[in-house]
Structure 1
Amino acid sequence: MKSYLLHLGRLLLSSVILFLVVITVLFFLLELAPGDPVQSLVGDVPISPEFRAQITAAYGLDLPAWQRYFAYIANVLTGNLGYSFGTNNEPVLDLILSRAGNTLALAVPAFILSTVGGIILGSIAARTRRRWLDAGISGIAVGLFSVPSFWFGMLLIMVFSLWLGWFPTQGKAPYGESGIALPYLVLPVITMATSELAYKTRIMRSSMIESLGQDFIDTARSKGLNPRRVLWGHALPNALLPMVTVAGYSLGFIFAGSTLVESVFGWPGMGLLFVDAINSQNNMVVLGVAIVLTVTIIIVNFLTDIVYGLVDPRLRARFTRKAGAPA
């Protein structure tokens, strides 16, 4: 137990270090980025030096970069992500939280669809190894994994929205209505899930093939068990162990990939907020969204490591041996 807690402590420390590195790199990259945030704030109109100095001082842009960096780190550690550049001067955290639900509405169904679909398709491909069904599933998976998500999303819009007219192209609900309408959800979720579905299918196929080659599978077959029961009842639980890690990490990729998907479909989530903030040089919002996404990914990965350590008997045995080893 002590060895396992030490392992978790190392994971937590590495997560904190990664978090600080991400903030530092992003902050100074934005500092080096070309453009004038003051001019972006007021628009394409001439401004007097006095007015520019007033805006610069109001947002703290007159301070040295290193001083603003440490002040920003101190604010982030207390949950203050700063204020958005704009007329409303809205807190960045409130702005992000108002969009987070829309991003979750895409990410959660995409995660479930890609994980469940990957397990089923990968298992079927492994069961029909070296046959036409395996070749078809594997070939389609490789193809879909190679396709950029924004291109695939535009292809879906062209086919199912413009040609067939089945689904809308932009937004999350008809104009003037609140909430999320199901027809607006279908194409973005499929786009977000497709690449991860293809990857998980390949991983599950390899894991299932390895599981089907184990001795306990031969024992189950020798007892005359139904092939489906051997596949789903005996081989599948053992093959799911690598999927725990893959599924956990994929959730982070899904959140990160929401930027492109939301931009293609005009979905008002954190990804679209991130893109709009970059275009308007709203650095506080850019940093805020990046920090929230980074924290989310780090937490998911940390929890994935914990879950994997609990479900994998090999890791439990390793920590048990270390704990019981003589000093």
Structure 2
Amino acid sequence: MKPIFVHYGRLLASSLLLFVVVITVLFLLLEIAPGDPVQSLIGDNPVSDEFRAQVVATFGLDRPVWERYFIYLGNVFTGNLGYSFGSSMTVAELIMSRIWNTLALAIPAFVLSTAGGILLGAIAARTRSRWLDGTISAGAVAFFSIPNFWLGMLLIMVFSMNLGWLPTQGNSPYGESGIAIEYLILPVFTMATSELAYKARIMRSSMIESLGQDYIDTARSKGLPGNRVMWRHALPNGLLPMVTVSGYSLGFALAGSVVVERVFGWPGMGLLLLDAIQRNNNQVVLGVVIMITVVILIVNILTDVVYGIVDPRLRTRFAQPARSDS
């Protein structure tokens, strides 16, 4: 069997195992968490013991934990995430109604942070030990250290409350559907800032290493212009670590959208998750975290595939036949 198939087979198997572990841990944690899911289902209205027992039997809450776990695990692999307590919608329907709003934040933030990180990191490496490099590096450290929720509230105070330029909450004006551009600006900037700073630091280190290679000295000795050496020869190799970093950051953006969505009242999966936690709606909590886990695992697999394509060392290794020990 070719090494590339062995590699990706192991990657898929480990991802599947990790997925099962995540489901197991979350299921058990929610089982021992305080709160009564039945009470969150029926609300604060007084009900008879017979009605309460009927609700427990309907949702299978009277079954042993191990039985409910295996039933739920089987349902997950068939796409059934259960029903939301207190809602006539399934968990999958609730998530699908919110996931596009979350992606509307995560994807622009990912593009902005990646493009900005590559550009600023390359400029900092080109101007190493000069004032521009120091400014970019100091700014990257500062913005990476700022918590998202604090930056979001600061932007709301400045651009919404004081200047009145941008809205503070939601994704569109009251009574309108869809996503308005002006509602995207502040949350996207908030989500992208720390990732942009981190990627700029990684890109700077990678480009400095790339600029110190022998082939760069050879290109310069041939009389090639500095900009061509920088962008044509050094940049492609300097981008290799960014493939991995950027792939992981997209998953982190989805997971980190919880805080940003709460600050800006953005109706995405993060806000759905927080509301479900407050209402002890375990089915929704499990469903949202499972969906985020699936997206992160898919992104990680695609990142590994892309890295194998762009890195010539991996292409060479995969192209070689597997050696036999005999």
TM-score with structure 2 setting the length: 0.97
Would you say 1:8 and 2:8 are equivalent positions?
yes
What is the alpha-carbon distance in structure 2 between the residues aligned to residue 266 and residue 42 of structure 1? 26
Which blocks of at least 5 consecutive residues in structure 1 are unaligned? none
Amino acid at match of 2:312: P
The match for 1:74 is 74
Would you say 1:214 and 2:196 are equivalent positions?
no
Q: Shift of the alpha carbon at 1:190?
A: 0.4
What is the alpha-carbon distance in structure 2 between the residues aligned to residue 137 and residue 264 of structure 1? 28
Q: Shift of the alpha carbon at 1:323?
A: 2.8
Would you say 1:197 and 2:204 are equivalent positions?
no
The match for 1:308 is 307
Amino acid at match of 2:223: G
Q: Shift of the alpha carbon at 1:45?
A: 3.4
Amino acid at match of 1:55: V
* Runs of 4+ more than 4 Å apart: 324-327
Q: Cα deviations across residues 271-313 of structure 1 (Å, max 9, x unaligned)? A: 1111111111110000000111000000000111111111111
Q: Cα deviations across residues 210-238 of structure 1 (Å, max 9, x unaligned)? A: 00001111111112222111111111011
The match for 2:258 is 259
Q: Shift of the alpha carbon at 1:58?
A: 1.6
Paired residue total: 326
What is the alpha-carbon distance in structure 2 between the residues aligned to residue 326 and residue 283 of structure 1? 51
The match for 1:42 is 42
What is the alpha-carbon distance in structure 2 between the residues aligned to residue 294 and residue 18 of structure 1? 9
After TM superposition, the structure 1 = structure 2 runs for residues 171-320 of structure 1, keeping only pairs within 5 Å, are 171-320=170-319
Q: Cα deviations across residues 188-229 of structure 1 (Å, max 9, x unaligned)? A: 100111111011001000000000001111111112222111
Greater shift after overlay, 206-215 or 317-326? 317-326
TM-score with structure 1 setting the length: 0.97
Amino acid at match of 1:26: L
Q: Cα deviations across residues 155-194 of structure 1 (Å, max 9, x unaligned)? A: 1111111111111000000000011101100001001111
Would you say 1:18 and 2:7 are equivalent positions?
no
The match for 1:85 is 85
Q: Cα deviations across residues 101-142 of structure 1 (Å, max 9, x unaligned)? A: 111111110010000000000000101111111111111111
Amino acid at match of 2:301: F
The match for 1:98 is 97
Q: Shift of the alpha carbon at 1:98?
A: 0.8
Percent sequence identity over aligned pairs: 71
What is the alpha-carbon distance in structure 2 between the residues aligned to residue 227 and residue 326 of structure 1? 49
Q: Shift of the alpha carbon at 1:49?
A: 2.0
Amino acid at match of 1:276: D
What is the alpha-carbon distance in structure 1 between the residues aligned to residue 135 and residue 68 of structure 2? 55
Which blocks of at least 5 consecutive residues in structure 2 are unaligned? none
SS at match of 1:323: coil
SS at match of 2:295: helix
Q: Shift of the alpha carbon at 1:151?
A: 1.3
Amino acid at match of 2:40: S
What is the alpha-carbon distance in structure 1 between the residues aligned to residue 311 and residue 322 of structure 2? 17
Amino acid at match of 2:316: A
After TM superposition, the structure 1 = structure 2 runs for residues 129-168 of structure 1, keeping only pairs within 5 Å, are 129-168=128-167
Amino acid at match of 2:318: F
Structure 2 contact 191–260 (Cα < 8 Å) conserved: yes
Q: Cα deviations across residues 21-66 of structure 1 (Å, max 9, x unaligned)? A: 0000000100010011122223333333222212211211111111
Q: Cα deviations across residues 3-24 of structure 1 (Å, max 9, x unaligned)? A: 1110000000000000000000
Q: Shift of the alpha carbon at 1:318?
A: 2.3
Amino acid at match of 2:234: A
Greater shift after overlay, 315-324 or 113-122? 315-324
SS at match of 1:268: coil
Q: Shift of the alpha carbon at 1:89?
A: 2.5
What is the alpha-carbon distance in structure 2 between the residues aligned to residue 155 and residue 325 of structure 1? 61
What is the alpha-carbon distance in structure 1 between the residues aligned to residue 218 and residue 313 of structure 2? 22
What is the alpha-carbon distance in structure 1 between the residues aligned to residue 62 and residue 148 of structure 2? 40
SS at match of 2:80: coil
SS at match of 1:20: helix
RMSD, aligned CA: 1.3
Structure 2 contact 122–203 (Cα < 8 Å) conserved: yes
Q: 1:325–1:313: structure 2 CA closer, same or farther, 3 Å change rule?
A: farther
After TM superposition, the structure 1 = structure 2 runs for residues 114-133 of structure 1, keeping only pairs within 5 Å, are 114-133=113-132
Q: Cα deviations across residues 71-115 of structure 1 (Å, max 9, x unaligned)? A: 0001001110000001x3311101100111111111110010000
Greater shift after overlay, 32-41 or 117-126? 32-41
Amino acid at match of 1:284: Q
Structure 2 contact 2–321 (Cα < 8 Å) conserved: no
